[in-house]
Amino acid sequence: MASPASPLTPNALHSSGHEIMAAALPEELKELESRLRWKVDLRLCTIAGILCSLNLLDSGILSSASVTSMLSDLDLGVRWVGPRIWFASITFCFGLLTLCTAFVQTWKQLIALRVLLGMAMSGIYPGLTYLISTWYTRREQQLRFAFLQSGEVTVLATGTIVNYGLNHLDGRAGLRGWRWMFLVQGLVTCVIGIVTYWWMIDFPEKAHRSFYFLSESEAQLAVQRIQADRDDVVPEPFSWRRIGVNFLDPKLYGFACMFFILNLVSTALAYFLPIILQSGMGFSSNAAIILSTPPYYWSVIPALFTSFVGDTYRLRGPMITFNALCLIAGFLMFGLPTSTHVTVRYIGTFLATGAYVSNWAALNAFMANNVAGQWKRATTAAAVSACNGLGGVAGSWIVRQREAPRYETAVWVSVGSHILMIFIVGVFTISFYVCNRQQQAGKRVLQNRALKSRLFLCDLDESQIQTDEITVEVLSGTVR
């Protein structure tokens, strides 16, 4: 049963949300918002992390196929169909396709299934990041993206060990070990797809469609929080012109380029890590499999810590730059010709892995904080998803076996690409600063409309909460 029982119009949500906030005392309002965030965290971040984890476990061939499904990447499907049906159906479908892969007999059958699988799974990650951005204010998003990414890498690391164990079922029931991997993973994914229909939540303005989730007053508060933060809870009517005009915005290409760089390096490191542990550091194949998992478990700590700092102090650009510098240092530690100590090289893999995982959350928050309007965010997510997939393809080619054990191409491409990322972040930071100053002087309107909203501000002693008309600023990737 859904709660509340009837749909709420935007005007009703806007007015009733103001009434709720106006009637609440400061401490009561904080308690209401805290309870609301906890409910959304529990329902949305948990299932989002699980779905993205399943997506990541089978992402090796998906990158090339994901760029062919522009419609789903534009998040139009998730808007038209609704998150519950959208994510439940495509999760069940790619689970079924994964299960079917266990019974293929020819390489043609395998390729056909993998292409279909890639098309099905391409709607998961951009759709979930888009949905999360609609539920949280800009200063709350990076930590939630970090939860999402932490769940992914944890399952990825665990999945490596589980697949190693499943491979030992070789010969059981007449199936080879690799078939058992697809069979078990497919069955688990199908079950999770069914559960997703009841566990997933809808967009804030349609929270009444979610099963046993928010009360009517909580749904009104959820909408009002986002309306106050960026004034785009309810999307404008769809038109292809609203989609096409966004491709004239340089920010779209800048964010797409940074995600291309990030996935290029993450894919290279995923290939690179087991190989360098075995051929570069002298570990056995079994030891290389086991030793490649701790860096991913470790990456959860810096991802959550840097995201907490980024949200608390409203830092986006500086956190991306810090993570990029850590990744460069990590690659140099295990990639320089003068680096011969096994322990130092292994520590470098921890530093590099933690840095790129942290930057997934930081870049998602940086993008969500600086792109206004739901269709513009959807279009940017499409471009990012496409270039993210292309980065995965490129990353698999820069690790060259003939360059073992140093893999100079992979190391220097990774280092150079992150220097480029730092440059792009710097250009964005300066650009946002100039735009903010122009808007303050009345010379410019950001995002083609006045970004003014009623924000709730705490005075210095936090003894009362007041409202005032202020301008939303995006200064150095932050919101003030």
Helix 107-121 with 83-101: angle, nearest 10 deg: 160
Tell me the DSSP string of 373-388.
SHHHHHHHHHHHHHHH
Convert the pLDDT of each residue in 414-449 to its tens digit: 999 999 999 999 999 899 888 878 877 776 655 544
CA distance 205 to 250: 30
* Stated length of the chain: 480
**Contacts with 384 (C-beta within 8 Å, 6 or more apart), sequence order:** 126, 255, 256, 259, 367
φ, ψ (nearest 5 deg) of residue 288: -65, -40
332-338: long-range pairs with CB below 8 Å, 24+: 332/411, 332/415, 334/276, 334/280, 335/406, 335/407, 335/408, 335/410, 335/411, 335/412, 335/415, 336/411, 337/406
Q: Which is more confidently placed, 315 or 208? A: 315
C-alpha 263/C-alpha 276 separation (Å) is 19
- Per-residue pLDDT of 38-93, as tens digits, reads 899 989 988 888 887 776 665 433 333 333 333 334 445 566 678 888 899 989 99
Tokens read off for 123: 């709607």
Comparing CA positions, the residue from 66, 128, 116 lying closest to residue 387 is 66
pLDDT in tens, 387-422: 887 887 788 788 777 776 677 888 899 999 999 999
CA distance 79 to 86: 9
Give me the chain's average pLDDT, please. 76
pLDDT value for 477: 40
Strand partners, 471: 452
Position with higher pLDDT, 59 vs 382:
382
Domains and CATH numbers, the chain: 1-234 (1.20.1250.20), 239-435 (1.20.1250.20), 446-479 (no CATH)
